[in-house]
Amino acid sequence: MIALVSILIPAYNAENTLAETIESALAQTWKRTEIIVLDDGSRDRTAEVARRFEPRVKVVSMPNQGAAGARNQLFRLSKGDFIQWLDADDLLAPDKIERQLVALNGSQDKRVLLASPWAPFFFRMGHAQFTPDSLWQSLTALDWLLHKMGENLYTQTATWLTSRELAEAAGPWDTRVLSDDDGEYFCRVLLAAGRTHFVPDAKVYYRTSASSRLSYVGSSDRKKNALLVSMKLHVQYLRSLEESERVREACLTYLRNWFLVFYPERPDLVAELQKLAVELEGSLDAPALRWKYAWIRPVFGWKAAKWAQLRLPEFKSSCLRSCDRTLYRLAGERAVVNGRV
């Protein structure tokens, strides 16, 4: 029997992007799908936008409980043999799911975790650039985590295609984790799978949004607390696969890459990270600032220098996003004019 794929879309205040996301789900060349949108207590017209696609899309509304809670509810509602997670502002290439399932080549192994490439974009999907990294290959769980944590890499949520058996083995999304819930969750899926199968032509388009996005930590103490939970779990998961010098070094690199988020404003969390570093036979020095921001420290102080390093890239991204939005709208208006001509 042809596999049923559940495309699960948690949505919160996503009225501006949701329709395009749903359209990318409906356009899948793998036709045996169910699409479920969960409106997680939105305060805008998210539910109204979603219901325009009924009955092809099942729409459910519930009081806000956060992304992880919404995803757990979506999974309970789903019936698919495979699970395709899709955030409410991202897009799937039309043949994304089909390419991944065809890559199984008739295998009945339900513990294969299917991966794919992704590219960021603001508004103009045609300008997305796919830039390969060390995760863009089939890997064992151990090697995948070594690359991710040792090289500070990231894989977008929608790239994965997960069998129901794998999802059940991994367990529910952790509602304690706010800013890296997908990273922590797919670590567990990966441990259950043991390996990834990378399908190079199954493309995902990740919409880069403003600093209010779920993954952004900023100055939120709540998100910093949650990030520490995720980081400790990442270290635990990798060490469960192998206890070696290369694993400890990858874990220490991972801690150092994220140390600036906590230092020095949260001495309690800094102390916890220092303790974890000692367990890994290492230590955490005061985080170094990049050269383009280091000069700010002797002139304006550490706080200003840290603010610049964390926030100025966000400001640059916001400016690029605004420019891309303008070009996107101009292209739309031009298409209308040309249509009339």
pLDDT in tens, 216-227: 676 788 899 999
Residue whose C-alpha is closest to residue 187's, from 228, 223, 154, 213: 154
User: At 37, is the pLDDT very low, low, confident or very high (cuts 50, 70, 90)?
Assistant: very high
Cα–Cα separations (whole angstroms), residue 284 to 142, 220, 262, 265: 24, 22, 12, 15
9 and 153 together in one domain: yes
**271 within a domain of the structure (yes/no):** yes
Q: What is the pLDDT of residue 1?
A: 76
Average pLDDT, the chain: 92
Q: Do residues 120 and 42 lie in contact, with contact meaning Cβ atoms separated by under 8 Å?
A: no
List the structure tokens of 256. Answer: 């150092």
**Cα–Cα distance, 37 to 50 (Å, whole number):** 7
Number of folded domains that form the chain: 3
194 and 261 together in one domain: no
In the predicted structure, residue 340 carries a pLDDT above the cut 70: no
260 and 240 together in one domain: yes
Q: What is the pLDDT of residue 333?
A: 57
125 and 238 together in one domain: no
**77 within a domain of the structure (yes/no):** yes
288 and 318 together in one domain: no
Asked which of 277, 294, 311 is the last residue of a domain, the reply is: 294
**216 within a domain of the structure (yes/no):** no
141 and 250 together in one domain: no
- Measured over the CA atoms of residue 133, residue 136, residue 139 and residue 141, the dihedral's sign is positive
Q: At 223, phi and psi to the nearest 5?
A: -70, -35
Strand, helix or coil for residue 2: coil
In the predicted structure, residue 338 carries a pLDDT above the cut 90: no
**214 within a domain of the structure (yes/no):** no
192 and 313 together in one domain: no
299 and 285 together in one domain: no
180 and 256 together in one domain: no
**134 within a domain of the structure (yes/no):** yes
User: At 177, is the pLDDT very low, low, confident or very high (cuts 50, 70, 90)?
Assistant: confident
Torsion of the alpha carbons at 88, 92, 97 and 102, rounded to the nearest 10:
-160
Q: pLDDT digits over 38-72, tens only?
A: 999 999 999 999 999 999 999 999 999 999 999 99
288 and 320 together in one domain: no
Question: Mean pLDDT across the stretch 122-139?
Answer: 95
β-bridge partners, 6: 34, 83
Q: At 39, phi and psi to the nearest 5?
A: -80, 110
pTM of the model: 0.91
**340 within a domain of the structure (yes/no):** no
Domain region containing 235 = 221-294
**169 within a domain of the structure (yes/no):** yes
Question: Mean pLDDT across the stretch 180-198?
Answer: 95
Asked which of 207, 233, 258 is the last residue of a domain, the reply is: 207
In the predicted structure, residue 297 carries a pLDDT above the cut 90: no
Strand segments (E) across 157-272: 162-163, 196-198, 204-207
β-bridge partners, 67: none
**341 within a domain of the structure (yes/no):** no
> CA angle 106-112-114, nearest 5°?
95
Q: What is the pLDDT of residue 336?
A: 47
CATH code at position 10: 3.90.550.10
280 and 301 together in one domain: no
63 and 202 together in one domain: yes
